[in-house]
Chains A and B, each alone.
Chain A
Amino acid sequence: MDYNEILSDRVKTIKPSGIRKFFDLASQMEDVISLGVGEPDFTTPWAIREAAIYSIEKGRTFYTANQGLQELREEICRYYQRRFHVDYNPKDNCIVTVGGSEGIDIAIRAILNPGEEMIVLDPGYVAYTPGVELAGGIPVTINLRQEDEFKLTPELLKAAITPNTKALLINYPSNPTGGFMTKSDYEKIVPIIKESGIIVISDEIYAELSYEEEFCSIASFDEIKDQVIVVSGFSKAFAMTGWRLGYVLANPVLTKAMNKIHQYIIMSAPSSAQYGAIEGLRHCYDEVLKMRDSYKARRNFLVKTFNDMGLETFKPQGAFYVFPCIRSTGLTSDEFCEKLLEDQKVACVPGTAFGPAGEGFIRVSYAYSLEELKVATEKIKIFVDKCRGNHD
């Protein structure tokens, strides 16, 4: 029996992740220096781990409320108010999810009917487009441009909205570009969102990794706050990727709808992770700041190093990625990354893994120590010089 035949059409039409392909390639080789990772190099702060261990010792191993522990939701809402000045209440506006990933999924599924359009940004995180497709929706992509530092401009947004547009999915600071939207950038698109009445799913997972500029949540604009579903989590700021813990914040109707899906497919997020996260929000903010300082120094180092080797790289204001343009080497993103891996055993991710608009770019993660970045970039430089030599 050909089991391919029995698969659902939806699953069959979804493209395998471009990251996956590259992962297979890189993991077959030995001694690879990787700059391809989308998770912090720091271990979770000990206080968080210790609190989770304590919860296990105490036997707090049962399902929590579907929406998540009341205490944790209270801390999350306090945190969003304290840091980003957006008011949510733990009862009607907040669900604790299994990572930001689940948040994205239930947000999309709660609002999208088959055939309705959702605008996604390209280059963008790998899960958005498949998420829309799995919900039966139609992803409509906006190609972001390096000359705009990969921001969403009002012109681009206006041109993408049709009568069939249900929602817009944004992610700033951005994976993979490191692009950033300031308050004044948002001020330009908020009226369009208000007027069109579309829902905005805002993936704010990298909010704490904002460097020069203050992070601005699009939910902080009162006139569209109820149109916004904030998705965030603990993975990046608190270095808790493996714990799988995130949350969504939205108006009561949307929260209730998302909770309906959440309670059937997930029940509740892992309890020990939730106890750890409470400790994180209460007592570990200094650790978050320390990690942010380290990332900032690494970003500065990489931006200078790539520009010095002739790969044009804008200075990203957030997340932990730089997105150098490699067109000057005459190679495509895929070729560049594959050859770099073969030649120097350095793994970066081709920009095209994040959408066709990523062509001409590579994603370089700086979730690595400065020493590691130094070694890796020296190798990249050797490779780039070789490419240029062949080219001239």
Chain B
Amino acid sequence: MDEKLMLSLLQKNARMKITDLAAALDESKDDVIEKLTELEKKKVICGYHTIVNWDLTNTEIVTALIQVNASPEREYGYDRIASHIYKFDEVDTMYLLSGSFEFVCIVKGKTMQEVAHFVASKLACVDGVTGTSTYFVLKQYKNDGVILIEDEDGKNDRLVVTP
């Protein structure tokens, strides 16, 4: 089975029906279900999420990118410190990076105060963390490959029938 094609189809549309997915992959329904279950078990598929543009709802949401400096530990490297950080619910996404700081965390909260409080009272206090810089998001243009603002690009004005 073309696993890569299956994943890219689901990445574009996680709600695709099994019958359509099977047709698009030229496989049987049962084989597709079996493969999906396997990929879910192996955590290749980690979930079927929805990309929400919260800006268009009445929900107050604040996003910040936080650079985190940290010192590595013998035996663990950065992983133990990271686990102390990513377990906080406020942390949406976290990466270890090369360069002048160690981690970047994407943190979400209801207000700027809430995020600031989280950084000062939780994140900066984790053992091994030596410094943070917080950048609040002002506008979201693109998320997970999806452009979230009005954009005429790709507006399809093809003729109805062409050779």
Binding site for B on A (CB under 8 A): 17, 19, 22-23, 26-27, 32, 34, 36-39, 41, 43, 125-127, 175, 290, 293, 296-298, 300-301, 303-305, 347, 349, 353, 370-371, 374
Contacts and interface: CB of A to CB of B under 8 A. Distances in A.
B158 A41 contact: yes
10 contacts: A22-B161, A23-B160, A34-B161, A37-B158, A41-B156, A127-B163, A293-B4, A297-B5, A300-B24, A300-B25
Interface of B: 4-5, 8-9, 13, 16, 20, 23-26, 153-154, 156, 158-163
B159 A37 contact: yes
A11 to B, nearest CB: 19
Given A41-B156, A41-B158, A43-B154, A301 B163 contact: no
Tell me what chain A mostly uses at the interface: helix, strand, loop, or mixed. Answer: helix
B158 to A, nearest CB: 5
A83 to B, nearest CB: 20
B157 to A, nearest CB: 10
A178 to B, nearest CB: 15
Contacts of B23: 300-301, 304-305
Nearest to A34: B160
A370 B162 contact: no
Given A297-B25, A304-B26, A370-B24, A43 B161 contact: no
Contacts of A304: 23, 26
Contact of B5 (A19, A22, A23, A293): A293
B160 A37 contact: yes
A37 B8 contact: no
Contacts of B158: 37, 39, 41
A31 to B, nearest CB: 11
Contacts of B4: 293
Contact of A19 (B16, B154, B163): B163
Nearest to A354: B163
Contacts of B163: 17, 19, 38, 125-127, 175, 353
A72 B42 CA distance: 46
B24 A32 contact: no
A220 B95 CA distance: 48
A370 B23 CA distance: 11
A290 B5 CA distance: 10
A286 to B, nearest CB: 12
Nearest to A293: B5
B160 A27 contact: yes
A223 to B, nearest CB: 33
Contacts of A36: 160-162
Contacts of A175: 163
A25 to B, nearest CB: 9
A34 B158 CA distance: 10
B18 to A, nearest CB: 13
Nearest to A46: B153
A355 B120 CA distance: 74
B160 A32 contact: yes
Nearest to B27: A300
A130 to B, nearest CB: 11
